């Protein structure tokens, strides 16, 4: 059963492609494409080559000179680097691109035009228009607005200077040399000397522009610095005067960078600390002596009563004497007894010594007490003075905040003034010693030139363009060639087997023969020199071999294919010729075969085989004539033919049961019943006759019938799908077939068929 399918352009990449493939199929497609479109490609290549030659002949030679400049930070003198007004920024790709744009700016180009007087040069003031541009101007002028009337004013001519600037801009090229800081300036002209002068003038104009720009920037900066210095001087003086007035108002006196009250506060703080230390020491001593006096024991030992800390010129001898007497008293007591007169005297002396020590301690305590009172009074005085100084300092500190603010403002203005003064001095010195970062590395000279246009590249480019244009045009033709060319296309696009490819035949004059007697009474099929009889006249030809393929397809098809219908999508695709050839071949093989012309509206087969027929299938169906009275016969092949006469109700006749009965009657009497059906697209007769045949063969004209037409015909007639057993590519140009089916091109060579006749 036929399964129609919709295929996109991706599924149909070229006339010789039958599906996706690898490199081999791609090579085959390219080879087939060249075989099909080589004339188009060759024509466009020749046309492009001629255009390139015309361009070379009509275009005058142009010479290009090149100058090189270096853009970078120069090694400057030390004093210039120190007093430079502007910081030296490192050169990067962005700045290089900016400098290249400046080189091509209108200011630089205008300066060159003015210096070299190019506005008076005809080459730049009124440049000639090239051939291509002239053609474009003619085309645009012809399609532009209507011409002005006589009263309208003509367009004003362009200024010579502006024209020269525009021309020089077009002929100027600026490019960076690799990743270096070198820029190559190229200028084109018809004169080599002039091109060199222009390139050098552009480089010089750029350097002059850089110097002028820096000089102007320094001058503007110097003027601004001078005005700013005057303002800063006035602001510094005002700020310093405000500091002095504020000190006078708040009685702030400083010495050695420090306020007097702050110095007094430090001294008093130190003195107060010493006084407090001295007072504490006296108090400790007084407390100790008073404690000894309160705890005095008359019988105690003097050494235990008086500590070593309370030494004095009096207590020390007393203590020494007391110790000596105590030792002697102990010795005498042990030697003479405690009641001895000498021992008693010693005890009395010891008692007197303790009394004297107590009196001395009291005197010392009184002295410490007196010193302690004096120390306390001195400490109180120092504390009082310190409180006064602290109070004054707090008042001064409050004013000090404002004073520091005023002093900071004065210092800031003074620092700014010094900085701007240094910058102004550096700007004045740098303005007197100008130095640019750009210098010329190599001047352009007429000896190192490039000539344009170069014949070989232009000619090669034109040929390459012609090849590209030819390939594009060839691909466009291939994409628009939506017709059937190979059997693989039929199988891929229609899902129908291609059972034969019938070659294209041309009637030769030498094959003409006399017509047989074909009067209506004898009803003999007419024979002439047309291709209708090719299968009989040349049974070993490729045409006859393709008809045998059709016969074999019907013989081995599914079901008893006894009644065979042949149709096409459009008229004049050769279905009637294929039907007649098929019937002749089957009859020549010994079978009983009859051809039935069911194309009732345009019975072309009847006009060819039975030109004198006055009755046909319609008369047999209606019963006005019998089948024996209507059938025509060919004595040579024993082929029978049932002609047709034009009928206005063809679809109704073919759809009727009487027609079905007639075909069934023919089925009983003949081995093959070949039915020539009308085309599918123009009329509906083929649909009405579908029930008459066992199978159907679709005839497609090679290289003419559109794929979309056949697909549409099959999709809109679903009742014919089951009966179609295959398609036939008719009128195949065998000599061109290899261009579309490269993979099988060897099978189309005539030498293989010549071996078998």
pLDDT tens profile 176-209 = 888 888 888 888 888 888 888 898 999 888 888 8
Residue 447, strand partner residues: none
Q: Which fold has domain 496-507+522-754?
A: Rossmann fold (3.40.50)
Residue range 690-714, pLDDT digits in tens:
888 989 999 999 989 899 888 888 8
Q: Is 413 helix (H, G, I), strand (E, B) or coil?
A: helix
pLDDT of amino acid 151: 44
Nearby residues of 657 by Cβ (< 8 Å), 6 or more positions away: none
Residue with tokens 């005005």: 227
Residue 187, strand partner residues: 65, 172
Q: Which fold has domain 62-135+157-213+437-452?
A: Alpha-Beta Plaits (3.30.70)
Residue 410, H or E segment: helix 341-432
Parallel/antiparallel/unpaired status of strands 498-503 and 563-568:
unpaired
Q: What is the spatial distance between Cα 562 and Cα 78, in angstroms, rounded to a whole number? A: 114
Quote the tokens at residue 264: 């007094």
Determine the average pLDDT of the residues in 533-547: 85
Burial of 477 (0-12, 13-18, 19+ CB in 10 A): middle
Helices (H), 433-512: 455-480, 487-494
Quote the tokens at residue 383: 């504390």
Closest CA to 297 of 258, 354, 348: 354
257, 378, 515 from 554: Cα distances, Å: 129, 149, 32
Q: Is the pLDDT of residue 83 over 80?
A: no
Tell me the whole-structure pTM to 2 decimals.
0.52
Quote the tokens at residue 3: 């399964």
Closest CA to 679 of 757, 626, 750, 602: 602
Q: Which of 15-19, 93-97, 224-228, 440-444 has the lowest mean pLDDT?
A: 15-19
pLDDT of amino acid 255: 55
Cβ neighbours around 257 below 10 Å, total: 5
Q: Which of 431-440, 537-546, 724-733 has the lowest mean pLDDT?
A: 431-440
For the chain, what percent of residues have pLDDT higher than 90?
9
Residue by residue, DSSP assigns 527-553 as --SSGGGHHHH-TTSHHHHHHHHHHHH
Q: Which of 48-57, 68-77, 320-329, 729-738 has the lowest mean pLDDT?
A: 68-77
Q: Is 148 helix (H, G, I), strand (E, B) or coil?
A: coil
Residue with tokens 């030819």: 470
- Helix, strand, coil tally for the chain in percent (to 5): 60, 10, 30
Which band of pLDDT confidence, cut at 50, 70 and 90, is reported for residue 580? very high
Parallel/antiparallel/unpaired status of strands 62-71 and 438-442:
antiparallel
pLDDT of amino acid 150: 43
Which band of pLDDT confidence, cut at 50, 70 and 90, is reported for residue 20? very low
Q: What is the spatial distance between Cα 119 and Cα 377, in angstroms, rounded to a whole number? A: 108
pLDDT of amino acid 228: 79
| Residue burial 227-245, b: 16+ Cβ < 10 Å; e: rest | eebeebeebbeebbebbee
Q: Using N-to-C axis directions, what is the helix angle for 542-555 and 575-588, rounded to 10°?
A: 80
Closest CA to 512 of 527, 501, 522, 526: 527
Quote the tokens at residue 312: 């004095």
Q: Is the pLDDT of residue 1 over 50?
A: no
> E strands, 87-242, where?
172-176, 182-189
Q: What is the spatial distance between Cα 704 and Cα 697, in angstroms, rounded to a whole number? A: 18
């Amino acid at each position: 059963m036929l399964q129609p399918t919709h295929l996109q352009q991706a599924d149909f990449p070229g006339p010789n492609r039958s599906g996706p493939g690898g490199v081999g199929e791609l090579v085959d497609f390219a080879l087939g494409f060249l075989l099909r479109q080589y004339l188009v490609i060759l024509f466009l290549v020749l046309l492009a080559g001629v255009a390139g030659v015309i361009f070379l002949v009509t275009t005058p030679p142009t010479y290009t000179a090149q100058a090189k400049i270096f853009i970078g930070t120069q090694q400057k003198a030390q004093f210039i680097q120190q007093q430079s007004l502007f910081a030296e920024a490192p050169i990067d790709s962005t700045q290089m691109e900016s400098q290249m744009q400046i080189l091509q700016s209108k200011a630089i180009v205008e300066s060159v035009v003015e210096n070299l007087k190019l506005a008076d040069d005809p080459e730049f003031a009124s440049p000639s228009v090239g051939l291509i541009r002239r053609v474009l101007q003619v085309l645009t002028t012809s399609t532009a607005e209507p011409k002005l009337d006589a009263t309208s004013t003509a367009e004003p001519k362009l200024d010579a200077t502006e024209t020269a600037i525009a021309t020089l801009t077009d002929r100027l090229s600026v490019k960076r040399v690799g990743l270096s800081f070198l820029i190559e300036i190229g200028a084109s002209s018809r004169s080599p000397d002039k091109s060199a002068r222009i390139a050098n003038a552009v480089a010089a104009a750029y350097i002059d522009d850089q110097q002028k720009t820096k000089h102007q920037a320094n001058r503007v900066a110097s003027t601004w610095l001078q005005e700013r210095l005057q303002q800063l001087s006035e602001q510094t003086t005002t700020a310093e005067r405000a500091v002095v007035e504020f000190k006078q108002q708040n009685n702030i006196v400083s010495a050695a960078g420090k306020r007097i009250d702050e110095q007094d506060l430090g001294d008093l703080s130190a003195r107060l600390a010493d006084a407090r230390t001295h007072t504490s020491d006296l108090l400790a001593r007084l407390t100790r002596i008073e404690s000894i006096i309160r705890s005095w024991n008359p019988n105690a030992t003097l050494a235990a009563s008086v500590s070593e800390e309370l030494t004095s010129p009096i207590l020390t001898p007393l203590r020494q004497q007391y110790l000596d007497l105590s030792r002697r008293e102990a010795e005498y007591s042990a030697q003479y007894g405690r009641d001895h007169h000498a021992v008693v005297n010693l005890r009395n002396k010891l008692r007197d010594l303790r009394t004297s020590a107590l009196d001395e301690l009291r005197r010392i305590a009184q002295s410490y007490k007196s010193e302690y009172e004096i120390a306390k009074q001195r400490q109180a005085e120092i504390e009082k003075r310190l409180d006064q100084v602290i109070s004054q300092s707090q008042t001064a500190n409050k004013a000090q905040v404002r004073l520091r603010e005023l002093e900071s403002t004065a210092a800031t203005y003074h620092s700014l003034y010094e900085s701007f003064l240094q910058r102004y001095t550096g700007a004045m010195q740098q303005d007197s010693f100008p130095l640019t970062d750009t210098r010329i590395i190599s001047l352009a000279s007429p000896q190192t030139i490039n000539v344009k246009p170069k014949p070989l590249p232009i000619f090669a480019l034109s040929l390459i363009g012609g090849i590209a244009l030819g390939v594009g045009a060839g691909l466009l033709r291939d994409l628009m060639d939506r017709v059937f060319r190979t059997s693989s296309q039929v199988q891929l696009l229609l899902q129908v087997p291609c059972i034969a490819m019938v070659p294209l035949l041309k009637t030769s004059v030498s094959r003409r023969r006399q017509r047989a007697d074909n009067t209506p009474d004898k009803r003999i099929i007419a024979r002439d020199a047309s291709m209708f009889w090719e299968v009989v006249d040349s049974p070993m030809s490729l045409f006859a071999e393709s008809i045998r393929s059709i016969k074999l397809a019907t013989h081995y098809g599914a079901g008893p294919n006894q009644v065979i219908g042949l149709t096409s999508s459009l008229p004049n695709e050769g279905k009637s010729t294929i039907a007649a050839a098929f019937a002749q071949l089957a009859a020549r093989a010994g079978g009983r075969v009859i051809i039935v012309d069911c194309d009732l509206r345009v019975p072309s087969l009847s006009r060819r085989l039975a030109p004198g027929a006055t009755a046909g299938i319609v008369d047999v169906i209606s019963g006005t004539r019998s089948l024996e009275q209507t059938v025509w016969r060919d004595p040579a092949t024993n082929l029978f033919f049932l002609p047709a006469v034009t009928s206005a109700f063809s679809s109704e006749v073919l759809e009727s049961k009487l027609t079905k009965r007639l075909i069934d009657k023919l089925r009983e009497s003949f081995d093959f019943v070949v039915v020539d059906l009308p085309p599918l697209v123009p009329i509906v007769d083929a649909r009405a006759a579908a029930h008459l045949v066992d199978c159907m063969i679709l005839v497609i004209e090679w290289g003419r019938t559109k794929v979309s037409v056949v697909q549409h015909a099959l999709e809109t007639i679903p009742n014919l799908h089951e009966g179609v057993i295959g398609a036939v590519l008719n009128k195949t140009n065998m000599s061109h077939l290899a261009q579309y089916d490269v993979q099988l091109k060897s099978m189309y060579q005539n030498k293989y068929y010549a071996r078998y006749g």
